[in-house]
């Protein structure tokens, strides 16, 4: 069985026509030679073969798009490690006439990733609120929440890539909150370290345009 698997692996890798790497050594683009037989493999097998993902890593399909001709199909996958989504860990498979032609995106190394947490979601939310420093929040407005469906964020546990130098990233377990402040008004994703409570990142959802006084 081991010999057959090795032979299959070598055959699969021989079908690569081009490979481009990110600075950290992970593949950003892989193109395949015409006439390959990769359509017979599952997406998970393809990711294991070409991206070298670990046993605790999975790629979950989140979106499929087919062009008007029906010839081209694009599949978008979200990276998960130990059951937690990896922010910005997105990879795409591209097919023409059901044959895999290329794959591109970004994955992150999962060496020494720790997924345990010390803080509760409520403790992390208090850290996020302190960072935003608003006097009121949209989830406190019953009329708005009834119409919009927006509610007090409960916090989603994710793995956030934090730059560690030399083109590499470290995955840190964090709580992700959609904080919609009413006064002063702002809205953004706040990422709180799930262990030490530090604010790791703020990604604005609501963009403000600076107005000139005339």
- Residue 100 confidence class, pLDDT cut points 50, 70, 90: very high
Return mean pLDDT, the chain: 90
Query: What are the angstrom distances between the C-alpha of 68 and each of 61, 65, 102?
Result: 21, 10, 20
Q: Give the C-alpha separation, 62 to 208, whole Å.
A: 30
- Residue 208 confidence class, pLDDT cut points 50, 70, 90: low
pLDDT tens-digit map of 127-185? 999 999 999 999 999 999 999 999 999 999 999 999 998 888 999 999 999 999 999 99
Exposure string of 84-103, with b = 16+ CB inside 10 Å and e = fewer, is bbbbebbbebbbeeeebbbb
Task: For residue 137, count other CB atoms closer than 10 A to its CB.
Answer: 17
Task: For residue 204, count other CB atoms closer than 10 A to its CB.
Answer: 10
pTM assigned to the model: 0.87
**pLDDT > 90? residue 210:** no
Exposure string of 64-78, with b = 16+ CB inside 10 Å and e = fewer, is eeeeeeeeebebbbb
Instruction: Identify which of 82, 77, 16, 4 has the alpha carbon closest to the alpha carbon of residue 47.
Output: 77
- Residue 212 confidence class, pLDDT cut points 50, 70, 90: very low
């Amino acid at each position: 069985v081991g010999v057959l698997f090795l032979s299959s692996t070598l055959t699969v890798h021989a079908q690569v026509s081009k490979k481009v790497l990110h600075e950290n050594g992970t593949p950003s683009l892989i193109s395949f030679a015409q006439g390959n037989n990769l359509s017979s493999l599952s997406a998970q097998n393809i990711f294991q073969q070409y991206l070298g993902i670990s046993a605790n890593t999975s790629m979950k399909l989140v979106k499929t798009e087919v062009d008007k001709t029906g010839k081209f199909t694009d599949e978008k996958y979200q990276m998960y490690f130990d059951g937690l989504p990896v922010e910005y860990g997105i990879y795409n498979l591209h097919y023409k006439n059901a044959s895999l032609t290329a794959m591109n995106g970004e994955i992150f190394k999962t060496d020494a990733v720790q997924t345990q947490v010390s803080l509760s979601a409520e403790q992390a939310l208090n850290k996020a609120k302190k960072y935003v420093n608003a006097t009121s929040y949209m989830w406190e407005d019953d009329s708005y929440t009834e119409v919009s469906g927006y509610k007090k964020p409960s916090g989603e546990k994710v793995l956030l890539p934090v730059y560690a130098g030399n083109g590499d990233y470290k995955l840190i377990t964090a709580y992700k909150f959609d904080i919609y402040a009413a006064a002063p008004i702002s809205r953004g994703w706040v990422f709180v370290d799930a262990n030490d409570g530090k604010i790791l990142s703020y990604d604005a959802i609501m963009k403000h345009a600076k107005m000139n006084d005339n």
